[in-house]
Structure formats: structure tokens, C-alpha cells
Chain A
Amino acid sequence: MEDKLSQNKILEDVTGSDYKYGFVSDIENDAAPMGLTEDTIRFISKKKEEPEWLLEFRLKAYRHWLTMEEPDWALIDYPAINYQDIIYYSAPKKKKELAGLDEVDPELLDTFNKLGIPLEEQKILAGVAVDAVIDSVSVKTTFKETLSKHGIIFSSFSDAVKDHPELVKKYLASIVPYTDNYFAALNSAVFSDGSFVYIPKGVRCPIELSTYFRINAANTGQFERTLIVADDDSYVSYLEGCTAPMRDENQLHAAIVEIIVMDNAEVKYSTVQNWYPGNKEGKGGVYNFVTKRAACKGVNSKVSWTQVETGSAITWKYPGCVLMGDNSVGEFYSVAVTNNYQQADTGTKMIHIGKNTKSTIISKGISAGKSNNSYRGLVRVSKKAEGTRNFSQCDSLLLGDKCGAHTFPYIQTSNDSAIVEHEATTSKISEDQLFYCLQRGIDAEKAIGLIVNGYAKEVLNKLPMEFAVEARKLLEITLEGSVG
């Protein structure tokens, strides 16, 4: 019942059809000069007081990046990015060291309040630990102390470099090396902050960990890195949310998320991505090029990626699972919505290496307006992966006849015992469904919201409650104005 009530509440809440997170906060910034050279990288590293080995890592990544070509195989189309036109480091200027929440810049708190981020005290009581990353640096990590009692480390990436260099050094780029792809190399060179999570052996993280990313400053790229390590027999649920102000120019976002899961451990990673998608004519918006990968290193380990992608002008993102440990499990649940001129090329990679590994892929694409929405997924079964099972279901829903939906499944099996199933459907919201709702007094916009939410329910149900509410709301807002 709870579920139904909240959905109705959302229906009531939704009023305006415009991007709600498009405000700009008046916060003073401390930024690097525009453009990218080795000096930029040294500037960032120095600002962050990094150890030499990290600067070396960045420089190697940068030099490698220079030798690479931007990939063009995805079904997305955008003008060439001028990498010298971007500011690679921008931090809200601190007035002094912060001792508590009361001392955080009120303007900043106001920003978070507008975003509805549970940073205030009362929301903290609700049990969400938040690491808020604005532009490039982590602003405030709440709940650190409670977590540290369990030996859990949840901090900004920069703090982790200072406080736990051995862990960072051990795991950084161990799943996504800087040579992995063009955007991973770029991120490795210029990443400015992000989150670091370590769950020790046998610990179930008692609360959901959450990071909120926001691009605020103009001409800024955001390059955050998230590194999550779940040691043997541990569990954590991690949430990530993103917004950006409305700006006419495009903003670049190239992030990396690495997850390492040891024996019998489980990590749930949920994303609600709502970067600014550009206006109705396709002007502006965030270019979202993200590399996310989890390695199920241990036996019986498990990773679930759940993503709701409603934002960005361009989304290029394939959260993957490398199933190394025997009996390890990878899951990918995705809802990707595109409207107006948005383009999304997203999916997953499931690499089966261990024995009796299992993966599930449920992808729900929703295209409206003149947008293009592609599912691109790889299921690879290596020679030694006896008893592999995969099930993929890729559904596309079209609203209108000017949008596109595409499915690119790649299946590579080198082991005959593997059972790989793939199902795909493409449907339209039927005129019958719409009229049925209208005839019951439900207006067209609400009807679309209802039908789309129903269509995506299987995935939305995988999200933690609080996130699910936000996600449903977003789906409706994103599709407003897509009827008629």
C-alpha cells in the first residue's frame, strides 16, 4: 500500500514541466585556469596536497589519453568536444575549516535544500549518510562517526587519499585501468574528488550510503571517482544522485566507479541520474561519459547495479560486472528515459569467468520526443566458466513516432555449458491504454506517467524506497509535455 500511496503523492507533487534543478548557486569558486595540460594536472594535485605516486598516476593517464581517440561507435551524435574549453577543477571557496554542519556556507546548504538532499540534521536522523560533491570537491560527509564505529570508511576520495593511502593505492584503477577507454583515461588524469567506501570483513553497513553530485560552476567538467571495497561477508547499499544547473553550453561529466567485492560480500549500487538534459530544442545539457565496473572477486559475491537515467543530453554508460569468483552474481536493472533531443547509449557488460556465475539484465528504455535510446549490452562467457547462466530482457517503449529505440546485444560464449537467454520487446503506449485512462478521468500527462511507471516497475522496485519515490517523480517530470 505504501508504494501506491507514495506514487499518488508524486502525481500530486508534479506540477511544472521544466527541469527543477536548474538554478545556479552564488558560491565563490576556487578554480583552475581553463584548459588541459600537464600543468593543470599538477595544479589539481597540488591543490589537493596529493602524494607523489598519485600525481605520477595522473600524469601517466594523461600521457596515455593524448595517444587515444575519442570513441565513436556509440549511437550518439554530438559536436566535437573541445577539451581546452573546460575548467578541470572548481571548488567552492571555503571561508575556514568546518567543524560542523552549522558552519557550512548557508548558500551551499540552501543549494542542497533546493535539491532536497537530506543534509540537514532532521534528515540525518532518517538514517542516510551523505557525501555531497559539488563541482569537484566533497563538501561535507555526514555520519562519518557512526560509521567508523563499525570500522566502515566512508569519505571523500581526497580524504581517503590522505587517511587511507594504502587502501586507495591498492584498489585505485584495479578494475578500471586508465588504459580502459578514452574517458577513463581523462578521468584518471583530472579526477577531482568523489567517494571512497570500505566495508570491513563481516560488517553489514547499517545505513544506506549516499553521494549527491552536482555541477554548479560554468564551463566546468565534473570528473569524480568512486571506489567501493566490500571485504569478505560484508554488505552495503550505495546511492548516487546527480543534478546540474540549466546552462546553454554543454557540460562534460566523465566519472569512474570501481567496486570490489570479496567472498560472500554484496554491494547494491543505485543511481538516479538527472543531469540537465538540455532544453526542448536540444541546446545545452550534460555530456555524460561514465565508466562503471564491479569485480566480483570473491566466491558467492554479488553486485547489483540499478540505474534510473532521466537526464543528460548524452549518456554513454555501461555499468559492468566481472564475475571472477565461483557462484558470483551480477545484476543490472536499468530504466533509461530520453525526451526531446536526448541521446542515450547505455547497457551493461557481464563477464563470466568463475564457475556457476549468474547474471540478470533487465533494461527498460523509454523514448519520447525526437530522442534516441539504445541498449548496448555484452554477455561474455569465458572458457572456464562452467555452468554460467544469463538472462537478459530488454524492453523499449516508444512515445510518439519521432523517437528511436535500438537494441545491440552482444553475446560471446566460449563454454558450451552456458545458458544465455535474451528477450527483447518494443512497444508503444497504445491509444487503447491512453483512452482507457482518459475515460476514467485521468488526464493524458498523468496517464503517461502511470503507464510508464507501470512499465518500469520491475526496475523501480529494486531501488531503495526513498530513491524509488524520487525516481518515479523524475520519470513523470521527464515525460511531461511528451504527449500530443
Chain B
Amino acid sequence: MLLNIKNLHVAINGKEILKGLNLQVNEGEIHAIMGPNGTGKSTLAAAITGREGYEITKGEIIYKGQVINDWTADKRANEGVFLSFQYPVEIPGVSMTNFMRTALNAKREYLGKPQMKAGEFLKLMEEKKKLVEITAKLTNRSVNEGFSGGEKKKNEIFQMAMLEPTLAILDETDSGLDIDALKVVAKGVNELKSNENAFVVITHYQRLLDYIVPDFVHVMYGGRIVKSGGKGLALELEDQGYEWVKEKFGEE
């Protein structure tokens, strides 16, 4: 099993957001996590990736057989955990190329591999840029600076392609995307998918799941996963909305 989350409780500033969440993800699987706003979906992403301020008060995150509760965010990243951000941040003055090279070499250093040669790196960039239909113009600019919403999300998938994670979490990657950009993002994910990695796709809408077909769909509510099922569950949610979830599992 790649990821095993057991009875996870996470608090921000003492306020409990995740309240006993369980999730198991195997290699080769795509999991969709759906649910209304404010149920802790992004908190789950932050907790798995080790963001500061998200305190695990109870439970365990087990990744590749190891409890990673205490691992730093960069260690988790270098061990293959990737987050496609809902709101990618701008870093003025730092070119995408430089940023990516720094990230890639940080990972190689962590793994005890030599730094990637400039030529090799540029070739890899070209290859991966094509995958998400990013133009050269974009990688010469500062990280996310002046990128449109769609470009930012494509850029996240581009970085994912460069870093080849084992576990990728896509936090509302579809929000703010037009259908063409959505297809590009989905194509990127599908091409990266293998028997050795897994994806956790956080989304509001079933729309994305037409293109990235999940093996499992989980409904999150009140800091827990309240219902799991196959891809049919997403359609059901699309059809009925989240009202029934609230009714069944209680208003917050």
C-alpha cells in the first residue's frame, strides 16, 4: 500500500478540522475526493504534504510503509509526494527554469544522485512542456508571475511531470479551467499514470472525472470520509448535489 491514513485528526490553531479520517491508496489507483466547501479537503492535502500549522493531534499518515507524521515538507516532497496547488503562488524574479532545476536537483541530491547536466535538464524540460502544451515563453517567466489561471494549473502539472512523483495530490486543479485547459491537464495526468504511482484528485465537480477516471470516489464531510464508492458515486453526487450528505451526516 502506498498511502494509509489511519484515524487522522488535524487541527489548525487548536481548531480540529479533520476528525478521524481514514484513506487507503494503492499504487496504480486514482482516488477522487469530493465534498462541499469547508469539509477539510484542502486540509487533508496540507496534512499529507506536511504544511506547517497543520497539527496532527491523533492518528497516522503511513507512506510507503513509514509513518511520516514528523517528516518535513521537503523530505516528503523528495520522497515522491507532490501537491498541485489550488492557488499556485508567485515568486517574483525566480524563473520557472531556475526553480525547476533547483527542485529537481534537490531531489537528486536527496536520493544521492549527481546533479543533472544542463543539456539533459533542458531536454527533459522540452519533453515535459509538450506534454502539457506549455510554451517556452512560460518557463522563461518568473514562477507563476503574470500567468493566467489556466496557465498556473498547467504549470502545476508540468512540474508534476518534471518531478515524477509517486503520490500526486491535485487540489481543485480543475477550478477556474476552461474545457480545453481541463483536457490538457487531464491528458497530462493520464500520461503520467502508471502502476507505480497514485493520484488523489480533490474536486468539487464530476466534470474533471470525465477525463481523469477515478477507481474510487470518496465523499468528505465534517472532516471525515463519509462515503466511498466507484466512479458512479461521482455521478450520483453531480445529480443530487451535496444536500443529502448534509442531511444524512448532519449540519456542521
Contact = CB atoms under 8 A, between A and B. Distances in A.
A441 B93 contact: no
A456 B93 contact: yes
B93 A457 contact: yes
B226 interface: no
A7 interface: yes
A54 interface: no
A441 B107 contact: yes
Contacts of A440: 77, 99, 103, 106, 159, 163
Interface in B66-107: 72-74, 77-78, 82-83, 85, 87-95, 97-99, 101-103, 105-107
Nearest to A460: B93
A255 B89 CA distance: 43
Given A441-B103, A442-B102, A436 B88 contact: yes
A77 interface: no
A67 interface: no
A430 B105 CA distance: 23
A442 B107 CA distance: 8
A426 interface: no
B106 A12 contact: no
A1 B118 contact: yes
Interface string A237-266: 000000000000000000000000000000
Contacts of A451: 91, 94
B31 to A, nearest CB: 19
A431 interface: yes
Contacts of A1: 97, 118, 122
B130 interface: no
Contacts of A441: 74, 77-78, 103, 106-107, 110, 163
Contact of B89 (A433, A444, A457, A458): A433
Given A1-B118, A441-B106, A446-B102, A435 B93 contact: no
Interface in B42-68: 49-53
A450 interface: yes
B148 interface: no
Contact of B92 (A12, A435, A446, A455): A455
Given A439-B82, A455-B92, 17 more contacts: A5-B118, A8-B101, A8-B115, A12-B105, A430-B89, A435-B51, A436-B88, A436-B143, A438-B50, A439-B51, A439-B74, A439-B85, A446-B102, A450-B102, A454-B93, A454-B94, A454-B142
